[in-house]
Amino acid sequence: MAEFTMELNDEQKEVRDWLHGFAADVIRPAAAEWDEREETPWPVIQEAAKVGIYSLDFYAQQYFDPTGLGIPMAMEELFWGDAGIALSIVGTGLAAVGVLANGTEEQIGTWIPQMYGDANDVKVAAFCSSEPDAGSDVASLRTRAVYDEAKDEWVINGTKTWATNGGIANVHVVVAVVDPELGSKGHASFIVPPGTPGLAQGQKFKKHGIRASHTAEVILDQVRVPGSCLLGGKEKLDERLARARERAKAGGERVKNAAMATFEASRPAVGAMAVGTARAAYEVALDYAKTREQFGRPIIDNQGVAFQLADMRTQIDAARLLVWRASWMAISGKPFTAAEGSMSKLYASETAKKVTAQAVQILGGNGYTREYPVERMHRDSAIYTIFEGTSEIQRLVIARTLSGMPIR
């Protein structure tokens, strides 16, 4: 177990500086263009692949960093560059985490490389959980997976929505119901290989922010996948379902489902994304306040502006510390006894919304135009309080964990 520290080691600093350089030199100059185009920035993803940022090796190195700080440090720097482009670069990671959290070693080795492709032929992957009538309420999923024992295949039917890279992905990871009577405990995750008949892209969403990231519905119509595509395997699933049925009869403890295992692993990473966006907006506002003059002096000379900047920086640093604590606890195997993962995501995402709004206010009319990036950062920040568990859901998780009560 690595000792908790707030100081990055030399190797981590080198990686951080490398990522910061890529964000400054490659991502930022392209941010406004791809936000306007509302298209996946394939050339930028390819550049990230060429230098080794968009790759299984890089992701694995950060994911298995013994301090737990590799992923949040990487996310903060990339999202400091631009949230939409960064999400296009790291969006595959959510599907990869789904496989890492639930898959066998063979499944991990087979499918994760296919999610990324290579520098000459980049691929992306999609994690498909939310549905039109089931976002935060994962117990209401309707997508069904039925086992065809004669053919050792699973037949999947349903509609997924809000899927990052949905429909354009090489590999889709789909959460489906295998035992409706067990509610959220009766879920399982499946790999849908490239080119599988029956999977199609539905509506592509035109979004308020993160517009360089592709978000769409995924339609699954009689999609058949081999038994080997059930993450974790059927024997493990049967054992888990049997335990869930016994506990349901006894009124026992809650059993985690496949989607929640993925979300719990990724919440501190989402918090780090929010920190990166907040930090970027704060830096723009600070520079502007030091150079913009009104009434014969820089506006930062006014306490009304200076105190806002002081609060912004304090909140950003506090958010980062919550993210780092949760990330260190996760890699160290320490349980989130006070829902520390949800705390980090909640506070960081709310901080991003608040800080980016303050940045727009400090820039005044300029902040409201697309000539300055804080307008885009403010639009982008809204997603952090929504995806992978809304702020309201995070508060519910925290309250339930602290009280031990089934708060609704």
Which residues are the active-site residues? 388
For residue 240, CA distances in Å to 206, 229, 232, 360 come to 39, 17, 11, 50
- 123/114 Cα distance (integer angstroms): 7
Bridge pairing between strands 171-177 and 125-128: parallel
The Cβ of residue 234 has, within 10 Å, a number of other Cβ atoms equal to: 16
Q: Determine the Cα angle at 28 with ends 359 and 43, to 5°.
A: 145
Residue 97 CB-density burial (10 A; 0-12 exposed, 13-18 middle, 19+ buried): buried
Q: Which DSSP state fits 79?
A: H
Which one-letter DSSP state was computed for residue 134?
A: B
How many other C-beta atoms can be found within 10 angstroms of the C-beta atom of residue 120?
Answer: 8
358: tokens are 């303050």
CB 62 within 8 A of CB 75: no
| 31, 376 contact by CB (below 8 A) | yes
What tokens does 91 get?
Answer: 């969006």
- Residue for token pair 């000379």: 301
Place of tokens 């990869």: 96
Q: Is-contact 220 174, C-beta < 8 A?
A: yes
Q: What share of the chain is helix, strand, coil (3-state, %, to 5)?
A: 60, 15, 25
| Cross-strand partners of 192 | 172
130 burial (CB, 10 Å; 0-12 / 13-18 / 19+) is buried
AA identity, residue 278: A
Secondary structure string (H, E, C) spanning 269-337: HHHHHHHHHHHHHHHHHHHHHHHCEECCEEHHHCHHHHHHHHHHHHHHHHHHHHHHHHHHHHHCCCCCC
Residue 50: both structure tokens together: 């060429």
68: left (phi over 0), alpha (psi -120 to 50) or beta: left
